[in-house]
Amino acid sequence: MAAITAAMVGELRGKTDAPMMECKKALTEADGDMGRAEEILRVKLGGKASKASSRITAEGVVVAYIAGNIGALLEINSETDFVAKNDDFLALANNAAKLVAENNPADVAALLALPLDGKTLDDVRAALIGKIGENMSIRRFQRFETTGKLASYLHNSRIGVIVEFDGADEQIGKDIAMHIAAMKPVSLSSDQVPAEMIEKERSVAALKAQEDADKAAAEGKPAQSPEILAKRLEGSVQKYLKEVSLLNQPFVKNDKQSVEQTLKAANTTVKSFTMYVVGEGIEKKQDDFAAEVAAQMAASKQ
């Protein structure tokens, strides 16, 4: 049996970026053969990545990349917030966003197939899963290419915004991106709010109006006419549209003006925007912490 030295372990770790103990185990299994140890680690890291792939990733980060008039916004997820702060994970996220901007992939699968440091992005992701032992997945991205300008805002890397705009003032673009992160509009203007969201709000307003009518009847008060009820319903919908459309919202840095008024004063036009919130819409798994610790202890004894 060949002696496994610290220098050998360090060399293998430098080549594979695998954990120290995994490198030592692989070298022991390979009887000191460095090439064979690399192969063993690739198999083991791949296996870890495969086992992790079924676990829910609802944490993570949103990153933005802008180079001139081309940019990308990307969400990458992990299982825990702890991993979302890992330097290697953040490097993977930023490299992925840059690849989106530079290569314009059609979808996540095409992005994962792009080359990065002599491997594919998916190979780098799988190796990092093996190194950290936690699943991670690229969820979505949006690429921008414009004749205008781009501005971004990231809030604790959990909310990310890119704004496409025309105007001489660079700061107003950044301010609008920050506003979007704070106020979370669903569309640029009220006529762009999705029809299903409007109908949902209309249904809520109708239920509220019916509750009020039932309460008035129980108290012996006269019922409102159908015309008045219809106006109340439409008023509720219009109020909702103003609240969720960017141009109609009060500007966060000066709530005496709407965003539209602020843009007009700055001779600026917002053409589009994208906002991502980490884990939005993902159902988080509620784990039994004691059971999880017990399972990890049992696995360590195998």
183-231 pLDDT, tens per residue? 999 999 999 999 998 988 888 888 887 787 788 778 888 877 778 877 8
When computed from its CA atoms, the radius of gyration of the chain, rounded to whole angstroms, is 26
Domain boundaries, the chain: 6-52, 59-183, 190-272
CA distance 187 to 184: 9
Residue 49 confidence (pLDDT): 43
Exposure of 16 in the CB half-sphere (CA atoms within 13 A): 33
Angle between helices 226-244 and 195-218 (to 10 degrees): 140
Hey, what are 139's tokens? 């969820």
Contacts of 81 (CB under 8 A, 6+ apart): 59
Question: Are the C-beta atoms of 253 and 175 separated by less than 8 Å?
Answer: yes
Residue 42 confidence (pLDDT): 64
Question: Are the C-beta atoms of 27 and 12 separated by less than 8 Å?
Answer: yes
Contacts of 280 (CB under 8 A, 6+ apart): none
H or E element at residue 183: helix 170-183
Residue 130 confidence (pLDDT): 86
Fold classified for 6-52: Helicase, Ruva Protein; domain 3 (1.10.8)
16-66 pLDDT, tens per residue? 656 677 788 888 888 888 888 877 776 666 545 444 444 555 789 999 999
Question: Are the C-beta atoms of 48 and 133 separated by less than 8 Å?
Answer: yes
CA distance 72 to 100: 6
What is the pTM assigned to this prediction? 0.73
92-136 pLDDT, tens per residue? 999 999 999 999 999 999 999 999 999 999 999 999 988 888 889
What average pLDDT does this structure show over 242-252?
95
Hey, what are 79's tokens? 């299982």
CA distance 172 to 165: 9
- Cα–chain center distance at 59: 9
Q: Where are the beta strands (DSSP E) in the chain?
A: 59-67, 70-78, 115-116, 119-120, 136-145, 149-155, 159-166, 250-251, 254-258, 269-277
DSSP code at position 245 = B
Exposure of 176 in the CB half-sphere (CA atoms within 13 A): 34
Residue 82 confidence (pLDDT): 87
Of the two residues 52 and 177, the one the predictor is more confident about is 177
Residue 289 confidence (pLDDT): 43
Segments in 30-147 forming alpha helices (H) = 34-52, 81-84, 87-103, 108-112, 121-132
Coil, strand or helix: which one is 187? strand
In words, the CATH class of domain 59-183 is alpha beta
Strand partners, 258: 250
CA distance 135 to 140: 16
Question: Are the C-beta atoms of 64 and 158 separated by less than 8 Å?
Answer: no
Res. 1 pLDDT band, cuts 50 70 90: low
